[in-house]
Structure 1
Amino acid sequence: MIDLDKNEIRSSLLTQRGKLSKSEVESMSRKIVSSVQSHAEWKNAAEVLLYWPIKNEVDVTPLFRDALESGKKVYMPCCRRDEPGIMDFGVVRAEEDLLQGSFGIKEPCRSKCEFPDAISPDVMIIPGVGFDRKGYRIGFGGGYYDRFLAHPQKAGSLAVGVCYYFQLVDNIAVEEWDKPVQLICTDKDVIWPK
Structure 2
Amino acid sequence: MHQHNMTRADLRKQIRARRKQLSDAFQQDASARLIRQLCHLPELETSHHVAVYLSTDGELSTRELIEWLWQQGKSTYLPVIHPFSTGQLLFLRYTPDTAMVQNRYGIAEPQLNKQLILPTRQLDLIFTPLVGFDASGHRLGMGGGYYDRTLVPWFKNRSGAKPIGLAHTCQFVEQLPIESWDVPLPKIVTPDKIWDWESNRLSQGQMM
Residue 34 of structure 1 aligns with which residue?
A: 36
Q: What amino acid sits opposite 1:171 in the alignment?
A: Q
Farther off after superposition, 151-160 or 61-70? 151-160
Q: What is the TM-score of this pair, normalised by structure 2?
A: 0.82
Partner in structure 2 of residue 164 of structure 1: 168
Residue ranges of structure 1 left out of the alignment (5+ in a row): none
- Alpha-carbon distance, 1:157 to partner: 4.8
AA of the residue aligned to 1:126: T
Amino acid at match of 2:162: L
Identity %: 25
Please tell me whether the aligned partners of residues 58 and 127 of structure 1 are also in contact (alpha carbons under 8 angstroms): no
> Counterpart in 1 of 2:204?
none
Shift of 1:165: 0.9
Q: Which sections of structure 2, spanning at least 5 residues, go unmatched?
A: 202-208
Shift in CA distance, 119/90, structure 1 to aligned 2, threshold 3 Å: farther
**Conserved in 1, the CA contact under 8 Å of 2:35 and 2:65?**
yes
SS at structure 1 position matched to 2:15: helix
Spell out structure 1 runs of 4+ moving beyond 4 A. 81-84, 153-157
Question: 2-side partners of 1:177 and 1:45: how far apart?
Answer: 28
Q: Following TM superposition, by how much is the alpha carbon of 1:170 offset from its aligned partner in structure 2, in angstroms?
A: 1.1
| CA–CA distance in structure 2, aligned partners of residues 95 and 140 of structure 1 | 29
Residue 17 (str. 1) matches residue 26 (str. 2) = no
Q: Which amino acid is 2:127 matched to?
A: I
Task: Determine helix, strand or coil for the equivalent of 1:169.
Answer: coil
Deviation at 1:50? Answer: 0.4
Q: Give, as a single letter, the amino acid of the residue that structure 2 aligns with 1:12.
A: Q
Q: For residues 87-125 of structure 1, give each alpha carbon's deviation from its aligned partner in whole angstroms, at most 9, with x where no partner exists.
A: 111122335333332312121211375223443322221
Give the drift of 1:80. Answer: 3.0
The 1:133–1:156 alpha-carbon spacing in structure 2 relative to 1, beyond 3 Å, is: farther
